[in-house]
Amino acid sequence: MDQKIVLSGLPLEALTEVLAPLPSFRSKQIFKWISRGARSFDGMTDLSEELRGDLAARFELRSTVVSSKLEDRDGTVKLQITLRDGAKIEAVLLVDGEDRKTACLSSQAGCPMGCVFCKTGTLGFLRNLTSAEIVEQYFHLLEIAPDLSHIVVMGMGEPLLNLDALRTAVAILTDENGLALSKRRITLSTSGIVEGIRELADRGPETRLALSLTTADDELRSRLMPINKTNSLDRLKEALVYYQKRYKKRITLEAVLLKGLNTRLEDARALKNFAQGLETIINLIPWNPVEDLSLEGEALQEPTEAEVERFALELERRGLAVTRRYRKGRGVAGACGQLGSTELFPPQR
């Protein structure tokens, strides 16, 4: 039996086509209900009972379910979400004070990038997520925190390898007929896909951009992040310049700090040289421990507070704007680099 069409992943224009010959005002009503997080057609009280029954017989509102929920003492909530094919992904609610609550969304099931300091990279890559599977992560988190204010696509996967679905998801989340979220409050984080950055500049979406740089030492970055072997720092810098000329937006350069590896004086010098000519802010992220992760047989270690502080001061002395990522969600393996505490597929019986 054919699966029903899932409506959560359709922008308003596509939804109108799917629902034809219903008039467009009906599509707007249904789109608004979906954006409010409706779980069934029964609750769409401005539709007739007959129409609700017809819609339920033909369509589904969502394709995913929350299969587990973990809460940390710092307010972080991590959801394990099961997809229609049985695959599992994770999404995280990050809480920063009373005013800022951020949805950290995944773009792929697993990740093909293989960064040595990231748990998700050890899972391998299963597939890209659909626009519905991306949007529904936000809806699941919205049920926990109705005052969600920001989105970061920094969960499982490399967003710029799934730009089509991501572009559709952003269109849905920012549509004025629905949630009307501001694109300025959405950030995409990439490990450094040069062609993806250029495509982002040419075709959007016009969100904020973060680059997981970690180090501007070409040789060290290739050891830590295999993507650097085919997307070198020189090419990456050119793509960022191209992007910034197009959008005139500050780019966040994220540096996951590893004890004794990328916090040296020469690392600060290289970071300064890479950032030259760009409008950037450097976001320092002390590595969050993940068991059994290593570089060439040597176990990775988190930096000391003093090491992080020295590196931050050295960058500031060189004129760079610096922020520090405070550790959130470590109690539920929901911090940066820790996602993937579940298998992509459940064990077969």
pLDDT, one tens digit per residue, over 274-328 is 999 999 999 999 998 888 899 999 999 999 999 999 999 999 999 999 998 766 6
Residue 129, pLDDT > 60, answer yes
Contact by Cβ (8 Å): 105, 338: no
- pLDDT > 70: percent of the chain: 93
Residues 35 and 82 in one domain: no
Residue 228 counted as domain residue: yes
The verdict on 13 and 157 lying in the same domain is: no
Considering only CA atoms, which of 31, 23, 21 is closest in space to residue 61? 31
Q: Which of 104, 111, 118, 336 is catalytic?
A: 336
pLDDT at 79 over 90: yes
CATH code (residue 31): 1.10.150.530
Domain assignment present for 210: yes
CA distance 174 to 31: 12
Q: Is there a domain that residue 339 lies in?
A: no
pLDDT for the residue 278: 97
Is 132 a residue whose pLDDT tops 50? Answer: yes
The three-class DSSP label of residue 97 is: coil
pLDDT-derived band at 7, boundaries 50, 70, 90: very high
Q: Which residues pair with residue 186 across a beta bridge?
A: 151
**Beta-strand runs (E) in 250-330:** 251-257, 280-286, 294-295, 298-299, 322-324
In this model, does residue 343 exceed pLDDT 70?
A: no
Q: Mean pLDDT throughout 95-118?
A: 91
Residues 75 and 133 in one domain: yes
17 and 126 inside one domain: no
Which CATH number does the domain housing residue 204 bear?
3.20.20.70
Q: Examine the domain organization and report whether 56 and 72 are in the same domain.
A: no
Residues 129 and 187 in one domain: yes
Residue 96's pLDDT is what? Answer: 83
Render pLDDT for 50-63 as a digit per residue (tens, 0 to 9).
Answer: 999 999 999 999 99
Which of the following is catalytic: 17, 90, 307, 309? 90
Q: Assess if residue 54 is contained within a domain.
A: yes
Q: Looking at residue 348, what is its pLDDT?
A: 43
How many domains are contained in the chain? Answer: 2
Which secondary structure element, helix H or strand E, spans residue 295, and what is its range? strand 294-295
184 shares its domain with 221: yes
Amino acid at 94: L
Q: Both 47 and 73 in a single domain?
A: no
Decide if pLDDT at 332 tops 60.
Answer: yes
Query: What is the model's pLDDT at position 344?
Result: 54
Residue 104 annotated to the active site = no
Position 16 confidence tier, pLDDT thresholds 50, 70, 90: very high
Region 240-244: mean pLDDT is: 97
pLDDT for position 333:
56
Residue 103 in this model has a pLDDT that exceeds 50: yes
pLDDT at 345 over 70: no
More confident residue, 250 or 346: 250
73 and 156 inside one domain: yes
Looking at the fold, whether 173 and 305 belong to one and the same domain comes out as yes
Report residue 349's pLDDT band, with 50, 70 and 90 as the boundaries.
Answer: very low
**Residue 339 or 157, more confident:** 157
Residue 324 has a pLDDT of 86
Does residue 26 lie within any of the structural domains?
yes
Together in a domain, 139 and 172: yes
216 burial type by CB count under 10 A (0-12 exposed, 13-18 middle, 19+ buried): buried
Q: Is residue 184 part of a domain?
A: yes
Taking the C-alpha atoms of residue 9 and residue 172, their distance in angstroms, rounded to an integer, is: 8
206/247 Cα distance (integer angstroms):
8
Specify the amino acid at residue 302. Answer: E
Please give the pLDDT value at position 347.
46
Question: 10 Å Cβ neighbour count for 198?
Answer: 17
**SS3 state at 186:** strand
Average pLDDT over the chain, rounded to whole?
A: 92
Question: CA 2, CA 59: separation in Å to the nearest integer?
Answer: 11
- Structural domain span for residue 9: 5-60
How sure is the predictor about 146, in pLDDT bands with cuts at 50, 70 and 90? Answer: very high
Average pLDDT over residues 148-166: 96
336 is catalytic: yes
In a domain, 112, yes or no: yes
In a domain, 285, yes or no: yes
- The per-residue pLDDT for 290 is 86
Mean pLDDT of 187-210: 97
Same domain? 40 vs 129: no
**Mean pLDDT confidence for 321-339:** 70
